[in-house]
Amino acid sequence: MHADTSVNPEPTVLPVVILAGGLATRLRPITESIPKSLVEVAGEPFICRQLRYLKSQGISTVVLCIGYLGEMIRDIVGEGQQYGVKVLYSTDGPQLLGTGGAIRQAQQSFPSELGQAFFVLYGDSYLPINFALVQKVFEGSGKQALMTVLKNNNRWDKSNVLFNGTDLIEYNKSNPSQEMAHIDYGLSVLTTAVLESYDLQGSFDLAGVFHNLSVIGQLAGHEVHERFYEIGSHTGLTEATEYFQRVDKQ
């Protein structure tokens, strides 16, 4: 009788939708001629750092939701071969769709690639986090979506999540309460079914979707403890640059 020497394959990490279509008005004048994803951070376009990082996390498929000057991103990134990932593009078109509408359109364009669930990541965020662990927590939650949260106490932005250590009670970006001490960390998981009731070509914000899910108990929360880095503002860009300069030297 032969021993079973087969090795269980690593679980497949979900695809990632990156929201990279914003106008980036807070970064002007830098973003008057280039999209935010192509802003150089420690000598390299930010999107290049994001894609290499996603590859290191086991991600194989990325859908980039692009809008403002988005063709410039496509010219630099191409199909993603140099980063070891497959990159697909979903474009807003003449009407801005908002973060929710952009994801809805990406679902419609790439149903087989996005499958039943996928990560959502903002195009200006770099998150030191274990994607596979987040996926495991989401899959064990039995809920329609998951949001990673960080105890923020209004440090980097207005706290907008009520989280009790295990459960996400409410997410409210537009009208946060004083009891909220956490913030949306920037990485989420969505099931495809969540957005299917929304109109294609309709403009809507992902923040509203998450709020609605939270109040009906369908938004899981996963707390992280290491700060995020973002390039959505000049202050954030400076801090992210300093972070990558340290990392690049290691």
DSSP string of 184-198? EEEEEEEEGGGGTTS
**Does residue 10 or residue 32 have the better pLDDT?**
32
Would the pLDDT of 198 be above 80? yes
Q: What is 16-249's CATH number?
A: 3.90.550.10
For residue 152, how far is the Cα from the chain centroid?
18
Encode pLDDT of 227-243 as tens digits.
888 888 888 888 888 88
86: how many CB neighbours lie within 10 A of its CB? 15
pLDDT category of residue 114 using cuts at 50, 70 and 90: very high
Pairing label, strands 117-122, 16-20: parallel
55: how many CB neighbours lie within 10 A of its CB? 15
Please name the helix (run of DSSP H) or strand (run of DSSP E) that holds residue 156, with its range, or none.
none
Encode pLDDT of 72-100 as tens digits.
899 999 999 999 999 999 988 767 788 99
Pairing label, strands 125-126, 229-230: antiparallel
Amino acid at 67: G
* Matching residue, tokens 């009790």: 164
**Contact assessment for residue 159 and residue 176, using Cβ atoms and an 8 Å cutoff:** yes
Q: At what angle do helices 98-109 and 206-215 cross, to 10 degrees?
A: 90
C-alpha span between 219 and 150 (Å, rounded): 15
> How much is the pLDDT for 29?
72
Written as six digits, the tokens of 1 are 């009788």
Q: What's the burial of 228, exposed, middle or buried (CB within 10 Å: 0-12/13-18/19+)?
A: buried
**Contact assessment for residue 153 and residue 181, using Cβ atoms and an 8 Å cutoff:** yes
pLDDT category of residue 8 using cuts at 50, 70 and 90: very low
pLDDT category of residue 188 using cuts at 50, 70 and 90: very high
Determine the 3-state secondary structure of 61 from DSSP: strand
153: left (phi over 0), alpha (psi -120 to 50) or beta: left
Written as six digits, the tokens of 177 are 């309460």
Report the sign of the C-alpha dihedral through residues 81, 82, 84, 90, in that order: negative
